[in-house]
Amino acid sequence: MRSKKTSLGKGLSSILGNNILVEKKDSLNTNIKQIELSKIQLNPFQPRKNFDLEKLNELAISIEQLGVIQPITVRKMNNDEYQLISGERRLRASKIAEFKNIPAFIRVANDKEMLEMALVENIQREDLNPIEIALSYKRLISEVKLTQEQCSERVGKNRSTVTNFLRLLKLPSEIQKGLKEKLISNGHARALLAVNNKNSQINIYHDIINFGYSVREVEQISKDFSEREYFRISKKIKKTNLTNLSFSQQKIIHEISRKISQNVEVKRNKNGTGKILIQFNNDTELNDILNSIN
């Protein structure tokens, strides 16, 4: 392990403000103190629960070479102990790099302020998915007792941005999970909010995944089915049946399938000719189909 030289940076003052308690002056920066890693407790209010080990190791290598550029933030506890407010990735990576000390801002903060600072720093991260951001906004509002306007001021976002993220939490859990796993985009999810029926939202969600609908296409579907039920076509129509059809043609096939409650198969040749096949199992189903068409 090479020698450890710490390079001191600007810290989190741009996010957390300048109300910093200086416990001991440093010749390089009067706002920073070197603290033993063994004396720092983790933040019990940390909203982030999962840390990517591979990325932590990459950060540890960077810290080993350059030092901790951005100090962590802590508050003073009893018996010369400290509690982390923000910077858990840097703290964990410093331990991996086998550092003994880490530069830290020391702040006076109660539990509510600690939660607020941890949430605000968490929101500033670039790798959050939309649901994680929405949940952080929700905690700022419900646990820190902020209004949406105050929340938007804390994180430097427009109030409408905060509102739009919070609305994502109204979607069914299955769709929220798909958004977290990047099966659909934030634009797809926001378009689904225009659909009032939860089952329709889920059915459209599955068809987005199976047929690769664009955000514009989902916006049109959501507009068409905002007040009426949407039946999932990816259950009845194989993806290969629709790959050569335009979006408007797919919508018509969907309407036919929904109306007759039967599988509709489209076979199309390269020259443009083809067939539309409607399957039935008995005379009763055939009569039902004919009556529906009539």
Res 5: pLDDT: 41
C-alpha to C-alpha distances, 36 to 4, 33, 98, nearest whole angstrom: 14, 10, 12
Question: d(Cα 25, Cα 21) in Å, to the nearest integer?
Answer: 11
pLDDT in tens, 58-91: 999 999 998 998 899 888 887 788 988 888 889 9
Of 20 and 61, the structure prediction assigns the larger pLDDT to 61
Residue 258, Cβ neighbours under 10 Å: how many? 17
The number of residues making up the chain comes to 294
pLDDT tens for each residue of 100-140: 999 998 887 777 777 777 777 777 766 778 998 898 888 88
Average pLDDT, the chain: 79
Domain boundary assignment for the chain: 13-108, 236-294
A 10 A CB-CB count for 139 gives: 19
Residue 9, judged by CB atoms within 10 A of its CB (0-12, 13-18, 19+), counts as middle
What is the rounded distance in angstroms from the CA atom of residue 169 to the CA atom of residue 165? 8
Question: Could you give the percent of the chain with pLDDT greater than 70?
Answer: 81
pLDDT band at residue 2 under the 50/70/90 scheme? very low
Judge contact between 34 and 6, C-beta under 8 A.
yes
Task: Report, at the CATH architecture level, how domain 13-108 is classified.
Answer: Alpha-Beta Complex (3.90)
**Dist CA 239 CA 151 (whole Å):** 44
**CB 20, CB 106: distance < 8 Å:** yes
**One of 36, 54, 81, 88 is an active-site residue; which one?**
88
88 is catalytic: yes
Three-class secondary structure assignment of 21-37: CCCCCCCCCCCCEEEEH
- pLDDT in the model for residue 8: 36
Q: Provide the whole-model pTM.
A: 0.57
> By the 8 A CB rule, do 51 and 42 touch?
no
pLDDT band at 287 (very low <50, low <70, confident <90, very high): confident
Q: Which whole number is the average pLDDT over 128-153?
A: 87
pLDDT for 178 equals 94
Listed as own residue / partner, the contacts of 46-54 with beta carbons closer than 8 Å and 24 or more positions apart are 46/84, 46/88, 46/118, 47/118, 47/119, 47/122, 47/135, 47/136, 47/139, 48/88, 48/122, 51/88, 51/89, 51/92
Q: Do 21 and 107 meet the contact criterion of CB atoms below 8 Å apart? A: yes
Confidence of residue 242 (pLDDT cuts 50, 70, 90): low
Lowest mean pLDDT among 214-218, 233-237, 290-294: 233-237
